[in-house]
C-alpha cells in the first residue's frame, strides 16, 4: 500500500469520524458519557493528559487532569447556557489541541507545571466548548457523564504510562507522535474538504 494513500485515508477517516462523534443533539448522562469515548479526537486528548500527568509525583499528578476537567466543565456549561453554536473553527481547535498535546508527550519538553497546566486547561476549555455546543447539554446528569468519562480516560492514560515504566518513554513518544501526525493529517484533510 502506498504510504501517501494511507495517510490521506487516515485523514478522511479522522474527519468523518469527528463529524460522526458530534451529532448535535440534547443528551443525558449516558450519551454524554460515551461521547468523548466515541470521538477519537477527544479520546486521544484526554488519554494524553493522563499520560502527561505521570511526569509529576504525589498529589501534583492530579493537577493536569483536574485542570482539564475543570476547564472542560466551565467551558461546556458556559457555551450551553449562552446558546452558542461553534462552527468549523472549533473542530480545528480540537484537532490543534490533539497536535499540541501529542507533541508535548512525544518531545518530553519540561515547560514547568504552571505552563503545562495553562496549556492543558486551554485544551480542556476547547474540548468543553465543543462538547457544550454540539451536545447541547441541558442538565447536571449530562455534565456528570462527561466529567466521569473524561476522568476515566485520564486515569487509563495515567495507568498505562505508569505500569509500562520500562518502556514508558518510548511508548509515550510513540503515542504522542502518532496523535500529532493523525491530528495534522485530519487538519489537512479538513482544509482540503472545505
Q: What is the mean pLDDT of residues 79-87?
A: 77
54-74 residue pLDDT tens = 988 888 899 999 999 999 999
Going by C-alpha positions, the residue among 128, 123, 127 that lies closest to residue 52 is 123
| pLDDT value of residue 51 | 93
Kindly list the domain boundaries of the chain, sorted by start residue: 24-181
Q: What pLDDT does residue 156 have? A: 93
What per-residue confidence (pLDDT) applies to 190? 82
Q: What is the mean pLDDT of residues 9-35?
A: 55
pLDDT at 154 over 50: yes
- Distances from the Cα of 156 to the Cαs of 20, 38, 71, 81, 162, in angstroms? 24, 15, 20, 31, 10
Please state the pTM of the whole predicted model: 0.80
Mean pLDDT across 113-138: 85
pLDDT higher than 80, residue 124: yes
Amino acid at each position: 500500500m502506498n504510504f501517501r494513500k494511507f495517510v490521506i485515508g487516515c485523514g478522511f477517516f479522522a474527519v468523518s469520524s469527528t463529524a460522526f462523534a458530534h451529532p448535535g443533539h440534547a443528551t443525558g448522562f449516558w450519551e454524554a458519557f460515551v461521547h468523548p469515548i466515541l470521538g477519537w479526537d477527544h479520546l486521544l486528548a484526554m488519554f494524553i493528559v493522563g499520560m502527561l500527568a505521570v511526569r509529576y509525583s504525589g498529589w501534583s499528578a492530579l493537577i493536569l487532569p483536574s485542570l482539564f476537567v475543570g476547564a472542560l466543565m466551565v467551558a461546556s456549561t458556559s457555551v450551553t447556557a449562552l446558546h452558542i453554536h461553534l462552527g468549523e473553527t472549533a473542530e480545528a481547535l480540537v484537532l490543534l489541541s490533539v497536535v499540541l498535546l501529542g507533541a508535548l508527550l512525544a518531545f518530553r519538553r519540561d515547560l514547568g507545571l504552571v505552563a503545562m497546566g495553562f496549556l492543558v486547561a486551554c485544551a480542556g476549555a476547547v474540548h468543553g466548548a465543543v462538547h457544550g455546543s454540539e451536545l447541547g447539554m441541558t442538565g447536571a446528569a449530562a455534565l456528570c457523564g462527561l466529567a466521569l468519562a473524561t476522568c476515566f480516560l485520564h486515569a487509563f492514560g495515567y495507568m498505562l504510562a505508569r505500569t509500562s515504566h520500562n518502556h514508558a518513554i518510548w511508548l509515550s513518544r510513540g503515542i504522542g507522535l502518532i496523535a500529532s501526525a493523525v491530528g495534522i493529517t485530519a487538519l489537512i484533510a479538513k482544509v482540503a474538504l472545505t
